[in-house]
Structure 1
Amino acid sequence: MTIHSEHPFETPDDDRDPLRRLRGRLGTTVSLWTSGEGVERAGLTVSSYLVSAGEPGRVVGLLHADSDLLERLDETGTAVVALLGWRQRELADVFAGVMPAPGGPFRLGTWEQTEWGPRLSSAPTWLGVRLDPAATHEVGWSVLVEAVVEHVAVGTDESPLVHRRGRYQRPADAD
């Protein structure tokens, strides 16, 4: 038996969409978007997003069109956008739907209910946002959502979780 360092069924680079390959090389910190309350909570790991500092501040994200989060965000109009750290990579996989979570993803971690939705207590940096429904539209395979930032909490981040080229990476200097 041979052990390979790459996935044996992975599509060769030359057969992949070049724009998606480029996007994968950009790299970004990983965020967790959550919305709802109680059993009506939903969340999604999002690494395609942008935060704009202005008056008011805005966050723009690309969400999976069939995600429970998108449905909950449409219903509530609010969400929490939390930045994840290196220690939360398994949680990121669970909310991305690539790792199982018996009993549901909200069984992992400790959660605090805010007026914008559930907040992961171990994520010290987060936003409370309100959806701008007029700025939501389909973009390719995703839905672009834009939200107004209503609350900002900047905590001490020990080591951010970065996603680049399909993998999580720990930056050499986290500061």
Structure 2
Amino acid sequence: MTIHGDHPFLPPESERSPVRRFRGRLPSPVGLWTTAHEGKRAGLTVSSMLVADGDPGYVIGLIDPDSDLWETLHKARTAVVSLLGGPHQQLADAFGYVAPAPGGPFRMIDWTETEWGPAPVGVSTWAGCRLVSADPPEVGWALQVQLEIAHVELAAEELPVLVHRRGRYSTL
């Protein structure tokens, strides 16, 4: 077996999407979107997202229409959007389906059940949200999902925010 410094499934540079490579040069916060409906929990690591201030505020993210998250969020109509910190890289990879999580990623840490869905224990910043539209527009490969922010939790002590840029994590 040989261990490489590069990602083993990364296509050659000539075959990579220039738009994806352009987006990859932007530092993006690493969010974890979680929801639950009738006992089924679902979650997904989302870095293609932004927060729009206002009254109410909104979280807008690009979500895979074939993901378990979208299937469950579509039914539940509520979600928790958590901002991950430096210690949560393995959690981000597990919910991004790029790292193994025996028994599923929800077994990796403890969770607090909220009226918006499961919130990860140990994550200091999260928002409880409501789905704005059950029929969001398609944008490229994804659905442009808009969530209205109903509740925000901000801990006094914040961990450095985990960001994703060019396929790698760093903290701010």
Settle same-fold status: TM greater than 0.5: yes
Shift of the 124–167 alpha-carbon distance from structure 1 to 2, 3 Å rule, reads: same
Q: For each residue in 1:41-78, what CA deviation from the matched residue of structure 2 results, as whole angstroms up to 9, or x when unmatched?
A: 00000000010010110110001111111011100100
In structure 2, C-alpha distance between the alignment counterparts of 1:99 and 1:58, rounded to whole Å: 30
Residue 143 of structure 1 and its aligned partner are, at CA, apart by: 1.0
DSSP 3-state at the match of 1:41 = strand
User: After the TM superposition, which residues 121-160 of structure 1 pair with which residues of structure 2 at under 5 Å, given as runs?
Assistant: 121-133=121-133, 136-155=136-155, 156-160=157-161
Structure 1: which 4+ aligned runs deviate by more than 4 Å? Answer: 1-4
Match of 2:102 in 1: 102
In structure 2, C-alpha distance between the alignment counterparts of 1:122 and 1:26, rounded to whole Å: 27
8 Å CA contact 1:135–1:146 kept in 2: the answer is no
Match of 2:167 in 1: 166
Residue 15 of structure 1 and its aligned partner are, at CA, apart by: 3.0
Shift of the 12–137 alpha-carbon distance from structure 1 to 2, 3 Å rule, reads: same
Taking every aligned residue pair, what percent have the same amino acid on both sides?
Answer: 52
Q: For each residue in 1:77-115, what CA deviation from the matched residue of structure 2 results, as whole angstroms up to 9, or x when unmatched?
A: 000000001101001110011111111111111100000
8 Å CA contact 1:37–1:113 kept in 2: the answer is no
Given residue 116 of structure 1, which amino acid in structure 2 is its aligned partner? W
Given residue 140 of structure 2, which amino acid in structure 1 is its aligned partner? G
DSSP 3-state at the match of 1:133 = coil
Structure 2 unaligned runs (5+)? none
Match of 1:120 in 2: 120
Higher helix fraction (1 or 2): 1
DSSP 3-state at the match of 1:112 = strand
DSSP 3-state at the match of 2:25 = helix
User: After the TM superposition, which residues 82-97 of structure 1 pair with which residues of structure 2 at under 5 Å, given as runs?
Assistant: 82-97=82-97
Residue 5 of structure 1 and its aligned partner are, at CA, apart by: 2.8
Q: Does 1:60 align with 2:82?
A: no
Shift of the 40–81 alpha-carbon distance from structure 1 to 2, 3 Å rule, reads: same
Match of 1:23 in 2: 23
Deviates more, 1:10-19 or 1:57-66: 10-19
TM-score of the pair, normalised by structure 2: 0.92
In structure 2, C-alpha distance between the alignment counterparts of 1:7 and 1:103, rounded to whole Å: 25
User: After the TM superposition, which residues 27-46 of structure 1 pair with which residues of structure 2 at under 5 Å, given as runs?
Assistant: 27-36=27-36, 39-46=39-46
DSSP 3-state at the match of 1:70 = helix
In structure 1, C-alpha distance between the alignment counterparts of 2:133 and 2:121, rounded to whole Å: 28
In structure 1, C-alpha distance between the alignment counterparts of 2:169 and 2:131, rounded to whole Å: 28
8 Å CA contact 1:125–1:154 kept in 2: the answer is yes
User: CA RMSD, aligned part only?
Assistant: 1.8
Match of 1:13 in 2: 13
